[in-house]
């Protein structure tokens, strides 16, 4: 598959011509404020998940929205280098979206966005996984399209649907509307991962275990809640399980949750028995913690390869 380059050349997209994992969502440029000036990095939660899955050895196609400009080329180059494919319908004449990231003292980030979001409906036949989340779930006109694709994937009975709300309060709209959109998407999902910050925004009156059970009541078979340095907890085949975070020196937390999500999807692709086997589910949580830990130990959204994760677990 080829996509247009500025000046009429082309970028070759690597990977299988018929990827069996579809990731739908924003790809953008993170503009990070540093003491030495602005630093531009490829970002966007779904794009990070696509890269993370490709680095775990899976065939991935990313349906996103990027401009035919240098920033869009930069995104396409990084996604392609990871082994994932950019869907040709992702390209637009609008400028590539950006998110200005300001790092807090603890390495976490807050964002100011310049983004628009619109994508076409795509077929789900032949797919093993459809993943989405973040702005793609909430920002129109694309959000309605994403909801349609999720329902089609769920109705197919052959594709796993995975979801990470990755709430951006400035973009998701009124709380009641956003919660309804999330609940609708979760009803189509097999696996939902969210952060403690997402949980607090969505369900401010519920404790963490209550959040897990509330989301599970919509229909997902697995629900996982990440808590930064405090590790993660998941509701799975044998009830609630907890795993510790990987002890590392944190460079920044950009992309940590996306790496965790990519690892969970990878584990489900490797062995779907994680949905029924408590030990396999806990092993998947542990692997995701290692994957996220490696990611936060280096700057930017830079998820590890399968070999890197295997080496830390061995």
| Structural tokens at position 191 | 């696996």
Please answer whether residues 44 and 26 qualify as being in contact, where contact means their C-beta atoms are separated by less than 8 angstroms.
yes
pLDDT tens per residue, range 215-250: 999 999 999 999 999 999 999 999 999 999 999 988
Q: Half-sphere exposure of 224 toward its Cβ, with a 13 Å CA cutoff?
A: 32
Class of domain 2-306: alpha beta
Asked if 82 and 54 touch (Cβ cutoff 8 Å), the reply is: yes
pLDDT tops 50 at residue 5: no
Cβ-contact 117, 26 below 8 angstroms: yes
Per the prediction, the chain carries an average pLDDT of 90
Q: pLDDT-based confidence at 309, cuts 50/70/90? A: very high
Q: What is the pLDDT of residues 97-149, one digit of tens each?
A: 998 877 666 666 677 888 889 999 999 999 999 999 999 999 999 999 999 99
Is the bond preceding residue 84 a cis peptide, omega within 30 degrees? Answer: no
pTM over 0.75: yes
SS3 state at 263: helix
Return phi, psi of residue 209, to 5°.
-65, -35
Residue 177 has pLDDT above 60, yes or no: yes
């Amino acid at each position: 598959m080829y996509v247009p380059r500025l000046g009429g050349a082309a970028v070759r997209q690597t990977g299988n011509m018929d990827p069996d994992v579809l990731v739908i969502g924003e790809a953008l440029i993170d503009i990070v404020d540093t003491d030495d000036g602005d630093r531009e990095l490829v970002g966007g939660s779904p794009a990070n998940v696509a890269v993370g899955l490709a680095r775990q050895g899976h065939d991935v196609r990313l349906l996103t929205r990027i401009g035919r400009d240098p920033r869009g080329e930069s995104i396409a180059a990084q996604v392609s280098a990871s082994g994932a494919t950019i869907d040709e319908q992702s390209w637009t004449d609008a400028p590539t979206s950006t998110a200005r990231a300001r790092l807090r003292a603890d390495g976490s980030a807050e964002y100011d966005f310049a983004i628009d979001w619109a994508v076409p409906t795509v077929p789900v036949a032949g797919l093993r996984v459809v993943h989405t989340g973040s702005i793609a779930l909430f920002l129109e006109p694309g959000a309605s399209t994403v909801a349609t694709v999720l329902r089609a994937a769920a109705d197919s009975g052959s594709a796993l649907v995975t979801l990470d709300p990755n709430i951006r309060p400035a973009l998701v709209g009124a709380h009641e509307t956003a919660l309804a959109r999330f609940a609708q998407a979760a009803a189509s999902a097999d696996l939902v991962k969210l952060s403690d910050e997402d949980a607090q925004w969505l369900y401010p009156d519920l404790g963490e275990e209550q959040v897990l059970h509330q989301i599970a009541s919509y229909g997902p078979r697995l629900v996982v809640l990440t808590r930064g340095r405090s590790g993660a907890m998941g509701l799975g085949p044998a009830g609630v399980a907890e795993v510790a975070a990987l002890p590392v020196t944190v460079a920044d937390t950009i992309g940590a949750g996306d790496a965790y999500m990519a690892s969970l999807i990878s584990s489900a692709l490797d062995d779907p028995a994680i949905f029924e086997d408590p030990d396999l589910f806990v092993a998947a949580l542990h692997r995701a913690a290692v994957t996220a830990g490696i990611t936060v130990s280096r700057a930017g959204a830079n998820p590890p390869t399968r070999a890197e994760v295997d080496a830390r677990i061995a």
